Amino acid sequence: EPEVTQTPSHQVTQMGQEVILRCVPISNHLYFYWYRQILGQKVEFLVSFYNNEISEKSEIFDDQFSVERPDGSNFTLKIRSTKLEDSAMYFCASKGQGLNTGELFFGEGSRLTVL
């Protein structure tokens, strides 16, 4: 069964460093998402991406964050100058075309720890 894969599964970084989280969405999907879950809290929407541009972003997704689809398979989230409060699980998701029902397929997540 096709699945969304994310790398790395866990990354530890020093405050102020740049981090890139990678995602390989399901191959024929066209909508891509990043979500964040701070430990013990709810899953928060960060950004959605379609047709090589951001279609929606939350207030969390400020200038510190950027997304890119550098090639036909990867979808990346870059966090510049990480802060302690960026420590969280980051989930990538993708969605196919067709009826826009919001059925997203999630990856297993990338845990980011900022020290």
Positions in the binding site for another protein (CB under 8 A):
33, 35, 41-45, 48, 50, 55-56, 58, 91, 93, 99-104, 106-109
| Closest distance to another protein from the beta carbon of 16 (Å) | 27
- Chain centroid to Cα 59, Å, comes to 15
| Closest distance to another protein from the beta carbon of 69 (Å) | 17
Task: Identify the H or E element spanning 74.
Answer: none
CB 4 within 8 A of CB 92: yes
| Closest distance to another protein from the beta carbon of 92 (Å) | 10
Q: Are strands 53-57 and 65-68 parallel, antiparallel or unpaired?
A: unpaired
Cβ closer to another protein: 39 or 84? Answer: 39
Q: Which single residue is written with the structure tokens 């379609």? A: 50
